[in-house]
Chains A and B, each alone.
Chain A
Amino acid sequence: GENVEQHPSTLSVQEGDSAVIKCTYSDSASNYFPWYKQELGKGPQLIIDIRSNVGEKKDQRIAVTLNKTAKHFSLHITETQPEDSAVYFCAVNSGTYKYIFGTGTRLKVLA
């Protein structure tokens, strides 16, 4: 079945530095790749997504890049701030209904 690997599991960066989280997937039919942020005590919330017809997408300090040939995609956060501290999940669609989630990355931004 579809498999999604996410790395690293934890990431600490100094405030103002960049953070990069990577995911690899196995199903070449996947064509939707969202990233979710989960703050303490809350459900995950979409922060950015990309479809397979696009290689990169940016939204202010957040960007996602997709390499369909290599089956991996990455989340890039620039100029990190303390409020970026959270758990981040990647996901890929699988079949008509399912999303497969990565195991999550706990990001800590150190002031």
Chain B
Amino acid sequence: DVKVTQSSRYLVKRTGEKVFLECVQDMDHENMFWYRQDPGLGLRLIYFSYDVKMKEKGDIPEGYSVSREKKERFSLILESASTNQTSMYLCASRSGATEAFFGQGTRLTVV
């Protein structure tokens, strides 16, 4: 059974903290993605990576960075968490223009 696993289901962090969201996939996919999901706005792309150590900005990269040191792992970093980054974060992976597999999501609350 293919899997995309996000390290946390729920996180509560304080304003100004550095936050790491981890994602691991076991399908040997080249492409990995971080989305943010907010009511009425759908899924918005934050960053993606098409190869190890390669990354590209998505539509809403401000306040975020990413790291991909190994093919199976893609990390999203909030350099200094703010309350407007309270959201559901979804990681996905895929190979080419095919089905994207999503993790279960991390609900982050910044207080």
**Chain B: which residue is nearest A51 at the CB level?**
B97
A103 within 8 A of B: yes
Complex contacts, A43 vs chain B, CB 8 Å: 4, 90, 92, 102-105
Instruction: Give the distance in Å from the alpha carbon of A41 to the alpha carbon of B41 in the complex.
Output: 18
Stretch at the interface among B11-19, B42-50, B61-69, B73-81: B42-50
A20 within 8 A of B: no
B25 within 8 A of A: no
Chain B interface main SS type: strand
Shortest CB-to-CB span from B57 to chain A, Å, is: 11
Instruction: Give the distance in Å from the alpha carbon of A104 to the alpha carbon of B58 in the complex.
Output: 19
A85 within 8 A of B: no
With A43-B4, A44-B90 already in contact, the answer to whether A97 and B56 are too (CB < 8 A) is yes
Q: Are B42 and A101 in contact (CB under 8 A)?
A: yes
**Chain A: which residue is nearest B39 at the CB level?**
A104
Q: Are B97 and A32 in contact (CB under 8 A)?
A: yes
A6 within 8 A of B: yes
A98 within 8 A of B: yes
B28 within 8 A of A: no
Instruction: Give the distance in Å from the alpha carbon of A32 to the alpha carbon of B78 in the complex.
Output: 32
Complex contacts, B56 vs chain A, CB 8 Å: 97
Report A2-59 residues with CB < 8 Å from chain B CB. 6, 9, 31-32, 34, 36, 41-46, 49
Q: Which residues of A contact B (CB under 8 A)?
A: 6, 9, 31-32, 34, 36, 41-46, 49, 89, 93, 96-99, 101-104
